[in-house]
Amino acid sequence: MSVSIHATEKALYKVFSNDFAFSIPAYQRPYAWTKEQASDLLTDLLSFLGDGSEAIADANPYFLGSIVLIKSEDASKADVVDGQQRLTTLTILLAVLRSLSSEKSASKITKYIYQEGDEFEGTSDCYRLKLRERDEEFFRDYVQCENGLDKLLKLDTFQLSDSQKNIKANASYFLDQLGKLSEQQRSRFSHYLMTCCFLVVVSTPDLDSAYRIFSILNARGLDLTLSDFLKSEVIGKIDQSQQDKYTRIWETEEEDLGRDKFQELFAHIRMIDRKAKPRKTALKEFSEDILPEIEPQKFIDEILKPYSDALEIINTANYQSYKDAEKINSLFKWLNQIDNFDWVPPAILYFSKNRQTPSNLKQFFTDLERLASGLLILRADINDRIGRYAKVLDAIEKDADLYALDSPLQLTPQETNRIIKTLDGDVYLIKRIRQYVLLRLDSALSEGEASYDYSVITVEHVLPQNPSVGSKWLHWFPNDEERLQYVHRIGNLTLLSRNKNAEAQNYDFDKKKEKYFVSKKGISPFVLTTQVLQQSEWTPAVIEQRQKDCLESLRKIWRL
């Protein structure tokens, strides 16, 4: 049986139109974009729009990717198989623009959020996007309805689900950022958003074919063709007598690094060259700004090959040298556990320039891991990270003193103080840093001898979050408010190499040590957990001393 599949590039004013009534099926995950993704989107849009010196029609168009729908040809109802995050975020963005606009402009934006019924056309009132059932009413009342954002910002976050927290956070971020623009700038931005930003809308009438399309787009998306395009462009400009030689070099590097990492390499090369977030498509930046500045053979010999070799060694932590190799590889392993890869371009550049000088590598990567860890702990957003690493790249290229107090590689006194304050607070509640910090601490306490090759590692409380009535915990911590001051801090946290039974978390201390913190072999693989096992009681004084000791160890690790 043949299946009709349509793929059409559409400007957003055609996407948010009567042609589509988007619905998020129940099987989809909740809305998950955080402020970081929202920031990426808005920053890119404003960057592509430019400073207002050119007409909207002449501005760089912005491609938002593709969405996959289950939709029949003769109906507007469209189940979203892929694209929920973008459609939801764009609707939040439209609602924010509406709230910041004059009454006349707001009515123009409303039609992209809400379809007013027309009895002559046989259409009924409906919102352009309907979320999953759990969030549908919330999204309608606090985002899609006029004046809903005012109510949204007043909500207590504690009462919201994770998806609703993300909706509120992203709306607040957009309001803050767009509120800094003049009314004229926002009007220009709205015009650009709806007319110059495009989605490829892929629709098919049945679920099976929709998922096949979704899988193909995610496994072999447009970004994965970049190296293929550049290979053709670069090698095509080399003298024919040398083309076979350089084709072999290119393909060998791709094979050694692996296709996915090889694709990532070009993003790192772009960052090293441009030292800023993209303002054009990757293809345009390479074709118009990067490749014309260097001969094709030199691009392969002096950039592609050494950078690819550097990335492979950094990724695999497989540096070999007559000295310091173990320490350098250890630093590579820690860097690879950071939850972003913005540190990679300066790592590649410095390694390529200093590969034969292990003492230089040891000093640089000690401080790069310190900076990357510091930015991780401070939850620096992507713009702050890219700006900081761009300065590090510039300093490396200029052979500046990277270890001077004012070097961008070094943490400032203000950053150091904020890091210490964060580490001395409720670390458990900061999900993205807690495991990294505790593993880094555990490694230092074991003097670098611990191995962390476990399929599951969990961060656990010693003092439970919710002690059982009548337990010894409530004897040691009778005051709820006092207990909350301790429960999520490093001094009360430890590591396990497996998931544990949730019921066992509330055991009294002696039983918990026996049943919960001891492995099948009877010995904990973590120093932090061994420390707990050595204690006979777990009182406020014990946690306070452990907190002090752990914080002092972390200060030594990162020279805080």
Neighbours of 303 (CB within 10 A): 17
Q: How far apart are CA 167 and CA 32, in angstroms?
A: 9
Question: Is 58 in contact with 191 (CB distance < 8 Å)?
Answer: no
What mean pLDDT do residues 97-126 have?
81
Does one domain contain both 111 and 196? yes
Phi, psi (rounded to 5 degrees) for 238 = -85, 145
Identify the bridge partners of residue 197 per DSSP, sorted by sequence position: 62
Predicted TM-score (pTM) above 0.75: no
Apex CA 376: angle with CA 371 and CA 382, to 5°?
A: 95
Please indicate, yes or no, if residue 425 is contained in any of the structural domains: no
pLDDT digit string, tens, across residues 178-204: 999 999 899 999 999 999 999 989 888
Question: Is 160 in contact with 144 (CB distance < 8 Å)?
Answer: no
What kind and span of H or E run contains 21? strand 21-23
Please indicate, yes or no, if residue 418 is contained in any of the structural domains: no
Apex CA 477: angle with CA 474 and CA 478, to 5°?
A: 65
Q: How far apart are CA 348 and CA 241, in angstroms?
A: 31
Tell me the C-alpha to C-alpha distance, in Å, between residue 258 and each of 262, 305, 312, 315, 343. Answer: 6, 14, 9, 11, 20
Q: How far apart are CA 442 and CA 150, in angstroms?
A: 46
Please indicate, yes or no, if residue 361 is contained in any of the structural domains: yes
- Counted residue by residue, the chain has a size of 560
Does one domain contain both 440 and 549? yes
Give pLDDT, residue 223: 38
Q: Which residues contact 146 (CB under 8 A, 6 or more apart)?
A: 98, 106, 110
What mean pLDDT do residues 397-426 have?
97
Give pLDDT, residue 222: 37
Query: 453 or 96, which is more confident?
Result: 96
Q: Kind of pairing, strands 77-82 and 62-70?
A: antiparallel
Does one domain contain both 381 and 442? no
Domain tally for the chain? Answer: 4
Does residue 510 have a pLDDT over 80? yes
Nearest to 135 by CA among 28, 16, 41, 39: 28
Does one domain contain both 345 and 255? no
Give pLDDT, residue 264: 92
Retrieve residue 540's tokens: 């406020």
Which of 271, 292, 316 finishes a domain? 316
Please indicate, yes or no, if residue 417 is contained in any of the structural domains: no
Q: How far apart are CA 11 and CA 196, in angstroms?
A: 6
Give pLDDT, residue 209: 66
Question: Is 201 in contact with 87 (CB distance < 8 Å)?
Answer: no
Does one domain contain both 34 and 130? yes
Using the 8-state DSSP alphabet, how is residue 293 labeled?
Answer: G
Please indicate, yes or no, if residue 308 is contained in any of the structural domains: yes
Does residue 220 have a pLDDT over 60? no
The percent of the chain in helix, strand and coil, each rounded to the nearest 5, is: 60, 10, 30
Q: How far apart are CA 144 and CA 139, in angstroms?
A: 6
**Tokens 């904990």, residue located:** 524
Which of 267, 294, 316 finishes a domain? 316
Does one domain contain both 306 and 359? no
Please indicate, yes or no, if residue 384 is contained in any of the structural domains: yes
Does residue 117 have a pLDDT over 80? no
Does one domain contain both 209 and 297? no
**Three-class SS state of 522:** coil
Q: How far apart are CA 212 and CA 318, in angstroms?
A: 38
Does one domain contain both 380 and 341? yes
**Lowest-confidence range among 267-276, 424-433, 529-538?**
529-538
Counting residues of the chain whose pLDDT is more than 90, the rounded percentage is 53
Does one domain contain both 450 and 301? no
Question: Is 261 in contact with 315 (CB distance < 8 Å)?
Answer: yes
pLDDT digit string, tens, across residues 357-398: 999 999 999 999 999 999 999 999 999 999 999 999 999 999
What kind and span of H or E run contains 250? helix 240-257
Identify the bridge partners of residue 495 per DSSP, sorted by sequence position: 459
Q: Kind of pairing, strands 126-127 and 114-115?
A: antiparallel
Give pLDDT, residue 57: 79
Does one domain contain both 71 and 207? yes
Does residue 44 have a pLDDT over 60? yes
Please indicate, yes or no, if residue 1 is contained in any of the structural domains: no
Please indicate, yes or no, if residue 252 is contained in any of the structural domains: yes
Which of 219, 243, 273 finishes a domain? 219
Question: Is 91 in contact with 226 (CB distance < 8 Å)?
Answer: no
Phi, psi (rounded to 5 degrees) for 509 = -55, -50
The whole domain housing 497 covers 433-557
Region of 198 on the Ramachandran plot (φ > 0 left; ψ -120 to 50 alpha; else beta): beta
Q: Which residue type is seen at 233?
A: E
pLDDT digit string, tens, across residues 66-91: 888 888 777 788 888 888 999 999 99
pLDDT digit string, tens, across residues 228-268: 768 877 887 888 788 889 888 998 998 899 888 998 999 99
Does one domain contain both 339 and 304? no
Does one domain contain both 227 and 158? no
